[in-house]
Amino acid sequence: MSGLPATGFGNTRNVRPFRAGGQTGIMNSRSVSFDRAAGFYDQTRDLPPELAQAQTELLCEELAATTRCLEIGVGTGRIALPLAGAGIHVAGVDLSPAMLGRLRAKGGGAVPVAVADARRLPFGAAAFDAVLACHVLHLVQAWADVADEALRVLRPGGTFLVSQGGQSGDETALELRKRLRQAAGLADVAGRVGLHGMDELDRHVAARGVGVRHLPTLRNTQTRSVAEFLDQVAQQYYSWTWDLDEATVRQAAAEVRVWAEHRWGDLTVAQMGAGSLRWHAYDVPA
């Protein structure tokens, strides 16, 4: 695994290799490594090109004055690679070697990466102008430690940018998720070992004297068929299913499919909406 270059990312300590648990895709001391998802992850987070571009532009505005950015839980580089393409100097860390392998296969050396745990970053204080985290904090039980680590490695005046996506207000999506959880015997907050809502994070950083800004929401009008979604659930594409055995997940998906066909008819025609994109910016005092 390549480390971060010393130049351009000054003030870094040595990057320690971090062993991401014994098996792949399992809870790792209450962090969820995505090794098992590396082959299909991008399919589950695909955005229409104009929306992906709008997100990159929104982040570029925030990062315009930066020379050293870090994305924690960078995964396959879905966020970092377009930023690098737009001229932002961004490096990434992740627990999952397999996700980082995908990133490198897609982006060559555009984004330097290292296997590291966001709960204890291998960088000195004030090493970065900006830190990003997208769809990560719900996967880490010690999400508050991750937030504090991000603030530690930010220089005074630096910005922590966080997105957890946004719940789709779409009734079909909400109903399906609720029924799937019930059928699998899961609690409401399944898949969230960590942060439950952005308001919790807002309060946490505000208590540390950090400014909170909510960036404009980017609406996602994309839809996909209910059939495709249920197929992906049955194949355990989503991290909230990873603690369950294969048979339980398949059975739950099958039960909900029967219910959904009764309710909506042809599930290849019935559509469900996607969550909007919401970013919060946390400004460390200068």
Q: Which residues bind ligand SAM (CB under 6 A)?
A: 31-34, 45, 72-75, 78-79, 93-96, 99, 117-119, 134-136, 139-140
> In the bound complex, what is the minimum distance in angstroms from residue 68's beta carbon to ligand SAM?
18
3-state secondary structure of 25: coil
β-bridge pairing 154-163 and 271-273: unpaired
Q: How far apart are CA 186 and CA 251, in angstroms?
A: 13
Contact 32/24 with Cβ under 8 angstroms? no
Angle formed by the axes of helices 171-184 and 246-264, nearest 10°:
140
Helix (H) / strand (E) element for 212: namely: strand 211-214
Task: Name which of 31 and 241 has its Cβ closer to ligand SAM.
Answer: 31
Task: Identify residue 45 by its one-letter amino acid code.
Answer: R
Distance of CA 173 to the CA centre of its chain: 19
Closest contact distance (angstroms) between CB of 138 and ligand SAM is 8
Least separation in angstroms between residue 210's CB and ligand SAM is 21
- Name which of 62 and 94 has its Cβ closer to ligand SAM: 94
Query: Given the complex with ligand SAM, which of 30 and 254 has the nearer CB atom?
Result: 30
CB nearer ligand SAM, residue 23 or residue 182: 23
CB of 10 to ligand SAM, least distance (A): 22
| CA-closest candidate to residue 285, choices 212, 215, 216, 199 | 212
Measured from the CB atom, the residue of 120 and 171 that comes closer to ligand SAM is 120
- DSSP-based helix, strand, coil % in the chain, nearest 5: 35, 20, 45
Give the shortest CB-83-to-ligand SAM separation in angstroms.
Answer: 12
Residue number of the CB atom closest to ligand SAM: 75
CB atoms within 10 A of CB 47: 16
Q: 145 or 261, CB closer to ligand SAM?
A: 145
Q: How far is the CB of 32 from ligand SAM (least distance, A)?
A: 5
Any residues with CB less than 8 A from the CB of 182 and at least 6 apart, and which? none
